[in-house]
Chain A
Amino acid sequence: MTYFIVQTLNGLFSAALLFLIASGLTLAFGVMRIVNIAHGSFYMLGVYVAYTVTSRTHSLVLGVAVAVGVVAAVGYLMQRFFLRRFAAQPLAQMMMTMGFALFFRDAALVIWGGDPFTLTTPALLTGSMSAAGIVFPWYRLFVIAVSALVGVGLWVLNDRTLIGARVRATVDDPEMAAATGINVSRLSGGVFAAGAGLAAFGGVMGGPILGGYAGMDFDLLPLAFVVVIIGGMGSLKGALVGAVVVGMIDNYGKALVPELSYFTLFAPMVLVLALKPTGLYGRA
């Protein structure tokens, strides 16, 4: 029993990180119809920038803030100067992000070298909680809580504010949204930047445990894609459900059948595709 509780908590931790990362991917897809290959790069850049900042200033809070800010700015500039001119051309946009993904991958290697590292866990959150025979690290619980808060925040933003209404309108029908006076390209820039920032945030949150290493960008990308494919592209709720499904399956798969860890991930995706090609909460 204890084993299952700990594994489930571990699965929730993976799900929490995946949700942070995939929510940005799915929002950008919903608004811009863009398959962002560079999303894994945003995650990677987040960890690396945070690493530089924290190793200079020893402040994880500052590291988070700078990483999210820098990566969101990179995302905004990318959207503004490279992607915006290819609006409504999904293939050209995808290839553009592919170019950037390759560029960032190599640039990170040049700037930060190939040595793996982990971010330091904040002093307040080191150690583990133990209750009823279950031992679980505080930091992982903290990440789960933070991700839940972000999820609630995104939901409120999306469902209860004017910005959210504009985003939802654009997801539904970009042309009609533009016709009602919504500045779609500016909104897209904002959403894309926010998505990049969320990916970076996810990277930093995972940083003390998963750390940073060369190749992490392309390691993460299929995971984020599977989450979005399962949940349905463009749906926040889908990202949440997909993240929990993938986080749990990935975690239990690795614990029970480590050799098949890649296949256990891929099975639910095939199942969902066979039954509902647009994903659980996606629209055609």
Chain B
Amino acid sequence: MAERKPLGTTWRLAATVGLAVFLLVGPPFLSPYWIGLLTQMVILAILAMSLDLLLGYTGLPSLGHAGLFGVAAYGVGILSTTYHAGFWVSVAGGLLTGIVLAALVGLIVSHVRDVYFLMITLALGMVLWGLSYRWIPMTGGDNGISGIPRFESHAGLPVTGPIPFYYVALLVLAVCSVLMMRLVSSPFGLTLRGIRENERRMTSLGFNTWVHCYLSYVLSGAFASVAGVMWAYYNGFVSPTYLDLTASSELFLMVTLGGPATLAGPVFGAGAIVLLKNVMSAYTARWLLVLGIVYIATIMWAPQGLWNLGRRST
């Protein structure tokens, strides 16, 4: 990617700083409804960034990414309700479930690319959805699992209300962002970009591209699991809708609308989609119709994502 000074750099910087300041100091002045929305945006921002590692940086379009996220959420749900596990066990269990799953799925998908990768992740995502839907003794089927303890009480924090959880989520987002930014600018991250641009060349340079793609998938799954664990606590229940194709496609749109391979873009993409979804729900129940139109409009007019508007694509 040619490093030329892009148009509107100042705008991007201003947007980032503005968003960070707002996320940090804004919530105490907002109503619980808006704090809830912001919490959703923050958690889904982690998820969107995790997909960006895969889609944007490695060039592997996963259409089943919500599956990893959802399975981690189910891990928390099942551990904390059926097995009455404590906080740390639930969190670790949820993360581990997601990561182990990513490690297994990664074995299957890491040697395919492009549209093959897309179709296979889509099919695997549907399998996970089918599992959550039909393995009723474990997952509660269509009803899902409710009664996940509140985050604060489960963690033994002496606070209540939406604000503390919001700040915990924000902290997790900050940590994950730093880790992912380090990751994509590390030699490993640069190798991933090399594979995205020209895998054959990377192979002939001596890189084991399979291992890189595999690690990229597992790491991406790990961050998605973090988001899944947070999401389970945020909602207090888990259901198959977390990992269906609609969820995966919403996620895909967050990254594409925001701007793939930017990390910051998907954060804004996640915010935009959550905001749009909730604002639209006040007027119409036809969210999928709107989502479909946004999808088409994005591809028509901002195929590189909003974050890259005014920037020359490579």
B246: chain A residues within 8 A (beta carbon):
102, 218
Residues A103 and B289 in contact in the complex (CB < 8 Å), given A90-B114, A96-B299, A263-B127: yes
Q: Is the CB of B292 within 8 A of A103?
A: yes
Q: Is the CB of B292 within 8 A of A99?
A: yes
> Which residue of B has the minimal Cβ distance to A279?
B116
Interface positions of B (Cβ within 8 A of A): 61, 108, 111-112, 114-116, 118-120, 122-124, 126-127, 130-131, 134-135, 244-246, 249, 252-253, 256, 286-289, 291-296, 298-300, 303
B134: chain A residues within 8 A (beta carbon):
259, 261-262
User: Which of B114, B115, B130, B245 is within 8 Å of A262, CB to CB?
Assistant: B130
Q: Is the CB of B296 within 8 A of A90?
A: no
Q: Is the CB of B120 within 8 A of A273?
A: yes
User: Which of A90, A99, A104, A225 is within 8 Å of B123, CB to CB?
Assistant: A225
A82: chain B residues within 8 A (beta carbon):
296, 300
Interface of B is mostly: helix
User: Which of A35, A86, A270 is within 8 Å of B299, CB to CB?
Assistant: A86
B108: chain A residues within 8 A (beta carbon):
270, 273-274
Residues A98 and B119 in contact in the complex (CB < 8 Å), given A221-B126, A262-B134: no
Q: Is the CB of A103 within 8 A of B127?
A: no
Query: Bound complex: CA of A82 vs CA of B296, how far in Å?
Result: 9
Mark A5-44 against chain B: 1 for CB-CB distance below 8 A, else 0. 0000000000000000000000001000101010000000
State the 6 A-B residue pairs at the shortest beta-carbon distance, nearest first: A99-B295, A103-B292, A102-B292, A262-B130, A222-B126, A106-B288
Q: How many residues of A contact B (CB 8 A)?
A: 43
- A164 close to chain B: CB less than 8 A: no
> Which residue of A has the minimal Cβ distance to B244?
A218
Number of A-B pairs whose CB atoms are under 8 Å?
114
Residues A226 and B115 in contact in the complex (CB < 8 Å), given A102-B249, A106-B288, A259-B135: no
Q: Is the CB of A92 within 8 A of B299?
A: yes
User: Which of B111, B112, B293 is within 8 Å of A99, CB to CB?
Assistant: B293
> Which residue of B has the minimal Cβ distance to A90?
B115
**Given A102-B288, A261-B130, A277-B116, 12 more pairs with CB closer than 8 A:** A37-B122, A37-B249, A95-B252, A98-B249, A99-B293, A101-B292, A102-B289, A102-B292, A103-B296, A104-B292, A106-B288, A273-B120
Query: Bound complex: CA of A232 vs CA of B108, how far in Å?
Result: 16
User: Which of B123, B249, B296 is within 8 Å of A229, CB to CB?
Assistant: B123
Q: Is the CB of B112 within 8 A of A277?
A: yes
- CB contacts under 8 Å to B, within A216-241, are 218, 221-222, 225-226, 228-229, 233
> Which residue of A has the minimal Cβ distance to B286?
A106
Closest Cβ of chain A: how far from B138's Cβ, in Å? 11
A103: chain B residues within 8 A (beta carbon):
288-289, 292-293, 296
Q: Is the CB of B296 within 8 A of A99?
A: yes
A228: chain B residues within 8 A (beta carbon):
119
User: Which of B112, B122, B245, B291 is within 8 Å of A273, CB to CB?
Assistant: B112
Query: Bound complex: CA of A82 vs CA of B293, how far in Å?
Result: 12
Q: Is the CB of A98 within 8 A of B114?
A: no
- A45 close to chain B: CB less than 8 A: no
Query: Bound complex: CA of A58 vs CA of B120, how far in Å?
Result: 41
B135: chain A residues within 8 A (beta carbon):
259
A105: chain B residues within 8 A (beta carbon):
288, 292
Closest Cβ of chain B: how far from A265's Cβ, in Å? 8
Residues A106 and B245 in contact in the complex (CB < 8 Å), given A90-B114, A94-B115, A225-B122: no
Q: Is the CB of B61 within 8 A of A94?
A: yes
- Max count, chain B CB within 10 A of own CB: residue among A82, A94, A278: A94
Q: Is the CB of B244 within 8 A of A98?
A: no
User: Which of B119, B253, B292 is within 8 Å of A35, CB to CB?
Assistant: B119
Query: Bound complex: CA of A106 vs CA of B124, how far in Å?
Result: 24
Closest Cβ of chain A: how far from B154's Cβ, in Å? 31
Q: Is the CB of B115 within 8 A of A102?
A: no
Query: Bound complex: CA of A172 vs CA of B270, how far in Å?
Result: 40
Mark A247-282 against chain B: 1 for CB-CB distance below 8 A, else 0. 000000000000101110110011001100110000
A262: chain B residues within 8 A (beta carbon):
126-127, 130-131, 134
Query: Bound complex: CA of A127 vs CA of B96, how far in Å?
Result: 54
- A209 close to chain B: CB less than 8 A: no
> Which residue of B has the minimal Cβ distance to A91?
B61
User: Which of A33, A99, A221 is within 8 Å of B245, CB to CB?
Assistant: A221
> Which residue of A has the minimal Cβ distance to B118?
A35
> Which residue of A has the minimal Cβ distance to B112?
A277
Query: Bound complex: CA of A253 vs CA of B182, how far in Å?
Result: 46
- Please name 26 pairs of A and B residues whose Cβ atoms are closer than 8 Å in the assembled complex, sorted by A: A35-B118, A35-B119, A90-B115, A92-B303, A94-B61, A96-B295, A98-B249, A99-B294, A100-B296, A102-B246, A102-B249, A102-B292, A103-B288, A103-B296, A106-B289, A107-B289, A221-B245, A222-B126, A222-B127, A229-B123, A233-B119, A259-B134, A261-B134, A262-B127, A277-B112, A278-B116
B303: chain A residues within 8 A (beta carbon):
92
- A110 close to chain B: CB less than 8 A: yes
User: Which of B111, B114, B123, B296 is within 8 Å of A222, CB to CB?
Assistant: B123
- Max count, chain B CB within 10 A of own CB: residue among A37, A102, A218: A102
A99: chain B residues within 8 A (beta carbon):
291-296, 298-299
Query: Bound complex: CA of A207 vs CA of B127, how far in Å?
Result: 24
Residues A95 and B130 in contact in the complex (CB < 8 Å), given A103-B289, A259-B135: no
A269: chain B residues within 8 A (beta carbon):
120, 123
